[in-house]
Copies of this chain bind each other. A is one copy, B any other.
Amino acid sequence: MTDTAPSRNRRPLTLRDVSEASGVSEMTVSRVLRNRGDVSQTTRERVLEAAKDLGYVPNKIAGALASQRVNLVAVIIPSLSNMVFPEVMTGINEVLDETPLQPVVGVTNYKPEREEKVLYEMLSWRPSGVIIAGLEHSDASKAMLKAAGIPVVEIMDTDGQAIDACVGISHRRAGRKMANAILKAGYRNIGFLGTKMPLDHRARKRFEGFTEALAKEGIEIVDREFYEGGSALAKGREMTEAMLKRTPEIDFLYYSNDMIGAGGLLYCLDQGISVPGQIGLAGFNGVELLDGLPRQLATMDACRAEIGRAAARIIAERSAEDGAIGGGERIELTPKIQPGDTLRRR
């Protein structure tokens, strides 16, 4: 803090510093640093060396203001601790890495008011595009997205009205598909276990599609249970135990995600319940994380990485064609059932 204090509050270097150090005009320095326009080999080298010597880092704020171009893509998702969104991010990164675009993520914790705030904050940096999870947003959020004048891709879900482009799966259809597979396998006394989150619209839609398809065959869920908080694995265990004790005639358990499903599976194995003979089980998501359990849980791949890739591609393409908006692309992917070892085969 005294004699050897690190240079504090040092003025950051500017183009002008590089210009003076290299004896080349600011403009030419700028051209060299951006690889724009023709610059002679000699000046180029001189500039590069000066910049490196000084440790110059360009100021993107100024650059963005001057060029009216910001190579940022806002990515707005509900959660990171979910295992599903990191995979979406991977897909997004994969595509954006090939472009000048950079993702910036914001997390909403499934709260509309947080989404609104995060969105406002991100839009105020004037990104080149927005990738946002879900089709349900507050009116204010929708208004902002429409007014932003940049490409908007809503991801994960296709059941509803998109603002602009949209990439995802139909969760309603996914629920129906699983219901039909379960019925076809001969199960009839079905219990449902899910999260309490009323704002997880995709889980809700899966549930709706599920019950709807059962209803079509004149079947109703015999029991249901919802949880919140805590370790999903442990919760899956507890809920399964509670439900099986309460409703012993159950022969199938449908879980709204793989983690609680895995908990249930472990419980059943512990109890010596025969799976999938006595009881069948299924989850949702296809999380690779769980490969390695004693049995492979039946599940459905949510196409996470592909959703990320497709969304990023849309932004990248439109951004290349000068930020055209309103393309309205709609990509519905088709999740496949992975029967694993917990869904009886007929």
Contacts and interface: CB of A to CB of B under 8 A. Distances in A.
Contacts of A234: 291-292
A235 B289 CA distance: 11
Interface stretch (A41-49, A51-59, A190-198, A206-214): A51-59
A340 interface: no
A222 interface: no
A322 B143 CA distance: 36
A325 B8 contact: yes
Count this chain's copies in the assembly.
2
A149 B8 contact: yes
Contact of A105 (B58, B64, B83, B105): B105
B57 A124 contact: yes
Given A61-B70, A87-B81, A149 B289 contact: no
Contacts of A314: none
Contacts of A124: 57-60
A322 B9 CA distance: 9
Nearest to A325: B8
A270 B292 contact: no
Contacts of A288: 231
B57 A149 contact: no
A37 interface: no
Contact of A57 (B55, B61, B120, B266): B120
A231 to B, nearest CB: 4
A93 interface: yes
Interface in A216-253: 230-237
Given A61-B64, A231-B289, A270-B294, 17 more contacts: A6-B326, A8-B326, A9-B324, A12-B126, A55-B147, A57-B123, A57-B148, A60-B124, A60-B125, A81-B83, A81-B87, A86-B86, A93-B107, A102-B121, A233-B290, A236-B292, A263-B292
Interface of A: 1, 5-10, 12, 55, 57-62, 64-65, 70, 80-81, 83, 86-87, 89-90, 93, 102, 104-105, 107, 120-121, 123-126, 143-144, 146-149, 164, 230-237, 259, 263, 266, 270, 288-294, 322-328
The 5 closest A-B pairs by CB, nearest first: A233-B292, A234-B292, A231-B291, A6-B326, A80-B86
22 contacts: A5-B326, A6-B146, A7-B149, A8-B326, A55-B144, A55-B147, A57-B120, A57-B123, A57-B147, A57-B148, A59-B124, A59-B126, A61-B61, A61-B126, A62-B65, A81-B87, A93-B107, A231-B290, A231-B291, A231-B292, A235-B292, A270-B294
